[in-house]
Amino acid sequence: MKVLVTGARGQIGRALVNSAPAYVKVRPYGRMQLNITDARAVAECVQFHKPDVIVNAAGFTCVDRAESAPEHASRVNSKGPRYLAMAARDAGARLIHISTNFVFDGEASAPYLPTAATNPLGVYGLTKRNGEDAVLKILPERSVILRTAWIYAAEGHNFLNTILRIMRTEAPPRVVVDQVGTPTSAESVAAVIWNIIGMPEMNGIHHWTDTGIASRYDFALAIAEEATALGVLPRAAGITPVTTAEFPTPARRPHYNVLDKTSLTSLGINSIHWRNQLRDVLQEIKNA
Ligand SMILES: NC(=O)c1ccc[n+]([C@@H]2O[C@H](COP(=O)([O-])OP(=O)(O)OC[C@H]3O[C@@H](n4cnc5c(N)ncnc54)[C@H](OP(=O)(O)O)[C@@H]3O)[C@@H](O)[C@H]2O)c1
């Protein structure tokens, strides 16, 4: 089986390439090798490899920057998936496209089902939703939209590395208490994508995160505790809890970010508690 991965140098892309089963031939493409906003390059690359499956792990993921660069965000998050879906359709391939909880407004108080109404609060969420719509319209039978949330990995721009960086300077980070979600390791998402690839009949929208619910503040406290216990940090600075109102950012962020993943767990795919995954990723940072 041949699997083409776009955005292969991002957090999820790397985890996917590093965990490919032996029976799979992976064709990893970072942005420098394949810019998904170039329709012709996308078509040529897909025609050349004739993959069975394309996984789109590319995205413009800077939520705040998207507010001042809406056209760029739209090219990467909406048009890119559209070009990939067209190329997949022409080549007879499946497309697994990664999306986000930011398609929701975070006003819910129970985990979001894949069928819940979307209502993005900002440019990032809107462009991601338009990308989902394009994929589902062009390739309804052979596409999976996998929404996830709060991704982190040992390498990359993410909450874990930001908190570690601030704590290494011994400054006490200020972290919001009124945004809750499930910290999710990129490796967990990669594992579920390989599961989905092994289920050729699956299509439609699905959700995946690790298990459990935490505020950003809880996540930061856990990072401090676990990183100190493992010796990744010499000592933990105190963390100051703040409200979203006290921590203004260019983009509005949803308060409630929990996704219902029973469409996948009911198939026997296991989800692990976020704190256990955090420990594993910190161990990886320690070993690096
Ligand atoms: N991070 C999260 O918390 C989170 C949560 C939910 C869903 N997601 C979704 O998951 C997917 C992967 O996210 P991630 O966390 O792995 O993000 P990431 O680490 O930022 O990786 C995204 C990758 O996409 C590449 N890219 C950007 N523009 C591109 C283009 N025009 N053509 C090809 N590649 C391009 C980036 O390359 P450069 O770095 O060279 O620009 C980067 O390697 C995205 O679709 C994102 O929306 C992420």
How far is the centre of ligand 1, averaged over its atoms, from the C-alpha of 59 (Å)? 4
Compute, in angstroms, the gap from residue 76 CA to the centroid of ligand 1.
9
Provide, rounded to the nearest whole percent, the portion of the chain with pLDDT above 90.
Answer: 97
For the whole model, what pTM was predicted?
0.97
User: What confidence score (pLDDT) does residue 268 get?
Assistant: 95
Percent of the chain whose pLDDT exceeds 70: 100
Which residue has a Cα nearest atom 12 of ligand 1?
57
Give the C-alpha separation, 172 to 150, whole Å: 22
CA of 273 to the centre of ligand 1 (A): 24
In tens, the pLDDT along 82-116 reads: 999 999 999 999 999 999 999 999 999 999 999 99
Kindly list the distances between the CA atom of residue 115 and the CA atoms of 145, 184, 284, in Å, as whole numbers in the listed order. 12, 21, 36
Distance CA 260, CA 163 (A): 27
Identify the CA nearest to 206 among candidates 256, 126, 147, 258. Answer: 147
In eight-state DSSP terms, residue 49 is: H
Tally of CB atoms within 10 A around 70:
14
- Out of 5, 31, 35, mutate this one to test ligand 1's pocket (max ligand atoms within 8 Å of CB): namely 31
Taking the CA of residue 124 as reference, the ligand 1 atom at the shortest distance is: 47
pLDDT in tens, 229-273: 999 998 877 899 999 999 999 999 999 999 999 999 999 999 999
Predicted local confidence at residue 237, as pLDDT = 77
Tens of pLDDT along 153-199?
999 999 999 999 999 987 789 999 999 999 999 999 999 999 999 99
Q: How far does residue 38's CA lie from ligand 1's centre (Å)?
A: 16
Catalytic annotation present for 256: no
Alpha helices for the chain (secondary structure H) = 11-18, 39-49, 63-68, 70-74, 80-91, 123-138, 159-168, 186-197, 216-230, 262-265, 274-287
Rounded CA gap, 173 and 237, in Å?
8
What's the rounded mean pLDDT across residues 123-148?
Answer: 98
**Which residues sit with their C-beta closer than 6 Å to ligand 1?**
6-7, 9-13, 31, 35-37, 57-61, 76, 80, 98, 100, 128, 148-151, 156
pLDDT at 203: 97
Among the listed residues 29, 83, 112, 124, the single catalytic one is 124
Instruction: Answer yes or no: is pLDDT of 81 > 80.
Output: yes
Question: According to DSSP H, which parts of 60-144 are helical?
Answer: 63-68, 70-74, 80-91, 123-138
